[in-house]
Amino acid sequence: MTGVAAARREAVLGRLRELGERVYQDIERGVFPSVEIRSRSVTNIVYDERARQFVLGPRTVKRSSHNLKQLRAFTQLLWLAYFSNRLISESRTSTLRDVYYSVQAYNLDFTDQDESDELVVDLETLLGRPREDFNIYPEERSSIFGDLTVEYTVPGYEGRRINLSSHPDGYMIGPSLSTAEFIDTSAELVLAVEKGGLFTRFVEERVHERFKAIIVDMAGQAPRATRYMLRRLNRELGLPVLILTDGDPWGAHIAAVVVAGSANAAHISEINVPDAKWVGIWATDIRRWRLPSEPFNEQDLKRLDELGRDPRYQAGIWREQLEEFRRLKRKSELEAFAKYGLTAIVDRYLPLKLEEAKSL
C-alpha cells in the first residue's frame, strides 16, 4: 500500500505539464492561448446523487489571453501553475498568503488576498485537484492520533517512519502528513470528532486501544486536508469513518460536509467520504439521554430551515434527525455527557453508538 502520495504528485505534475504544453503550442501557432474553466456560479453547482456530493455542472467560462480584461488574470493563472509546478518539483509547501506575495516578483500583483485566493480556486477547478495537491496549504490545522505507521516523503524526512500514537497530543495534519505514505495499522475504524476537548478525552481514555480506533480532531468544520486524510483512511485502509459532533444543526452540517463535500469545493472531487457515518449527537440522543440542553436561538432555527432545503438532508438519518430537531428545538454539546461523569461518553455512549452505526 505504498506510492499513493507519489502517484498523486505525478498526476498533478502531469496535468500542469499538459497545461503548459497546450499554451506553448497555441502561442507557437499564433493563437492566443485560453482555458475553459467550469463555472463555479451558484446556478452551476449541482448535487450529484451517485457521487453523493456537490459537483459542478457542465457550464464553463473561458479565460482568454486575447481578452484584455482577462489577460492579466490569465497570466496570473499561468504563473500560479508555474509556481505550483516548482513547489511540487522542489518538494516545498506554501500558503495562500505566500501566493499573494510571491506573484509580486513578476509585477502581477493581486489587488487583495481575495483575488489571490480566487485564482487558487481557479487552478483547483482547472486541474480538478485540491490546492493541497499542488502544495498550497491552508493555515488551519487539525490533528490525528492512533496506531498508524506512516512514511514521510517530504525532503529531509524521506523514508523516515513514525507511528501516530507516539505523541499523546496527536499529530498535526499538515503538508508532511498529507503527503506521507501509509505503511501499517492495527486500527479497525476512524473516529472523527468535532472538538479538541473530546479528542484529548478519547486519547486519555485509550479509545484507540479499547475500540481499535484512529482518532481525528476536525477542529470544527474540517479543513480540506483533513477531509482528504479521512478519505484516504477510508479508501486506502478500508476503515469505516464515524463522526461525532455537537447535537445541533451546525454539528450535523460538519458531518454532512465530510460525507458529501461542500458547495465551496464543488469543483474538486475526491475529498469527501461518502461512506462516513454521522453517529451523534442526534436529536433523539438528547431526549434519550436527558442531556442538559439549551433552546435554539434564531440563528439555529434559520440554519435548520436552510438545511431542510439542502439535497444532502433529504433522506435517512439526516432527514430523520432534522425533523426531530425541528420538534425539539433544543441543542446539546458533546461535553453535556459530563453530567454523568467525565468518562461516561466513552464508557457508555460510544459503545452504543458503534453498535448503532452498523445498522446505518
Report the residue number, 42 or 68, with the smaller CB distance to other proteins: 68
Query: Considering the rule CB under 8 A, would residue 101 count as an interface residue with other proteins?
Result: no
Closest CA to 156 of 179, 133, 123: 179
Give me the catalytic one of 47, 101, 152, 313.
101
What is the chain's Cα-based Rg? 22
Candidates 39, 44, 60, 64; binder of other proteins (CB under 8 A) is 64
**Residue 289, all three cell numbers:** 439521554
Judged by CB under 8 A, the stretch of 13-21, 267-275, 285-293, 330-338 that binds other proteins is 13-21
Candidates 10, 21, 49, 305; binder of other proteins (CB under 8 A) is 21
Query: Does residue 340 have an active-site annotation?
Result: no
| Nearest-10 Cα torsion for 331, 335, 340, 345 | 100
CB 51 within 8 Å of CB 274: yes
Query: Considering the rule CB under 8 A, would residue 65 count as an interface residue with other proteins?
Result: yes
Query: Considering the rule CB under 8 A, would residue 26 count as an interface residue with other proteins?
Result: yes
Candidates 12, 19, 286, 291; binder of other proteins (CB under 8 A) is 19
CB 214 within 8 Å of CB 165: no
The interface with other proteins within residues 242-271 (CB under 8 A) comprises none
Report the residue number, 76 or 142, with the smaller CB distance to other proteins: 76
Query: Considering the rule CB under 8 A, would residue 36 count as an interface residue with other proteins?
Result: no
Judged by CB under 8 A, the stretch of 68-76, 185-193, 204-212, 300-308 that binds other proteins is 68-76
CB 318 within 8 Å of CB 312: yes
Task: Quickly list DSSP for 19-42.
Answer: HHHHHHHHHHTT---EEEEE--SG
Candidates 6, 49, 72, 169; binder of other proteins (CB under 8 A) is 72
Q: Which residues pair with 192 in a beta bridge?
A: 216, 243
Total residues belonging to the chain: 360
Q: Provide, rounded to whole angstroms, the least separation between the CB of residue 346 and other proteins.
A: 51
Q: Which residues pair with 37 in a beta bridge?
A: 61
x/- binding map, residues 102-121, to other proteins, per CB under 8 A? ----x-x-------------
Judged by CB under 8 A, the stretch of 78-86, 150-158, 250-258, 278-286 that binds other proteins is 78-86
CB 219 within 8 Å of CB 143: yes
Q: Provide, rounded to whole angstroms, the least separation between the CB of residue 77 and other proteins.
A: 9
Phi, psi of 248 (to 5 degrees): -160, 175
Report the residue number, 21 or 305, with the smaller CB distance to other proteins: 21
Task: Quickly list DSSP for 275-292.
Answer: T-EEEE--HHHHHHTT--
Longest CA–CA span in the chain (Å) reads 74
Query: Considering the rule CB under 8 A, would residue 39 count as an interface residue with other proteins?
Result: no
Q: How far is CA 80 from the centre of its chain?
A: 22
Give the catalytic positions in this structure.
101
Binding site for other proteins (CB under 8 A): 16-17, 19-21, 23-28, 30-33, 64-66, 68, 71-72, 74-75, 78-79, 81-82, 85-86, 106, 108
